[in-house]
Amino acid sequence: MKVGYNTRIRPGSLVYRELDNMRSPLVTTFHETLGSCFASTLKDMLGSAVCESVYGLLERNGITGGEICNRFDDTVTVLTKVLGTSSRVLVHRTVVEMFRQYSQRADFSYQDSLRDRLIVLKEAVLANHLMPRSRHDGIDFDSVERTRLTSPGETGNHNGPIDNPDTSKKAVNAS
């Protein structure tokens, strides 16, 4: 379908899928995090039974569970049609959770444009190569302190070649 001079790319088309394969890992991670935040917000606020009903409603409107994060604007539109202005609470909490995941300050009010805030966050993620907390929850950053940064014959202390902590205790006790 042509609209003016531009060809419209519809979701589900071959071109749409190829574009989806070409996006960067940061964008993919951003969309996965958005889907995860939406799912957790939905479950926390409405419970699992209502959550399944909402997913069914979205599916009846052509948005499958896997497409929610890629078609978040459409998701918000469907929720607004069905739930009215109360859907804004879900969207607001999802966006706030996204900011928390990326350790960014959510300095916007309930009345601000949530779509614009999500775009600003996405641009910050891409510009600063940010990763969400959920991606590095399993990493122990303190393990770097326990990693030996010196060669086997060298120590960080220049008072002598004491490599073994047990040997250093014996040397202190012997004196």
Domain that holds residue 41: 25-136
159 within domain boundaries: no
- CA–CA–CA angle 144, 121, 136 (5° rounding): 25
87 within domain boundaries: yes
Q: What is the rounded distance in angstroms from the CA atom of residue 96 to the CA atom of residue 73?
A: 16
Per-residue pLDDT at 12 exceeds 70: no
166 or 93, greater pLDDT: 93
Query: Which pLDDT band holds residue 10 (cuts at 50, 70, 90)?
Result: low
Instruction: Decide: helix, strand or coil at residue 49.
Output: helix
105 within domain boundaries: yes
What is the pTM assigned to this prediction? Answer: 0.65
Per-residue pLDDT at 68 exceeds 70: yes
The total number of structural domains in the chain stands at 1
53 or 173, greater pLDDT: 53
- The pLDDT assigned to 146 comes to 53
Q: What is the rounded distance in angstroms from the CA atom of residue 33 to the CA atom of residue 52?
A: 19
* Cα separation values, 41 from 50, 51, 90, 94, Å: 12, 10, 7, 6
18 or 84, greater pLDDT: 84
pLDDT digits (tens, 9 = 90+) for 30-57: 999 999 999 999 999 999 889 999 999 9
Q: What is the rounded distance in angstroms from the CA atom of residue 104 to the CA atom of residue 119?
A: 13
CB 71, CB 59: distance < 8 Å = no
What's the whole-number average pLDDT of the chain?
78
38 within domain boundaries: yes
**H/E stretch holding 14:** helix 14-22
pLDDT digits (tens, 9 = 90+) for 91-148: 999 999 999 999 999 888 888 899 999 999 999 999 999 989 887 665 555 555 555 5
84 within domain boundaries: yes
Q: Any alpha helices (H) in the chain, and if so which ranges?
A: 14-22, 25-60, 72-83, 87-101, 114-128, 143-146, 165-174
Query: Which long-range contacts link 4-9 to residues 24+ away (Cβ below 8 Å)?
Result: none
153 within domain boundaries: no
Structure-derived torsion over alpha carbons of residues 168, 169, 172, 175, reported in degrees to the nearest 10: -110
63 within domain boundaries: yes
1 within domain boundaries: no
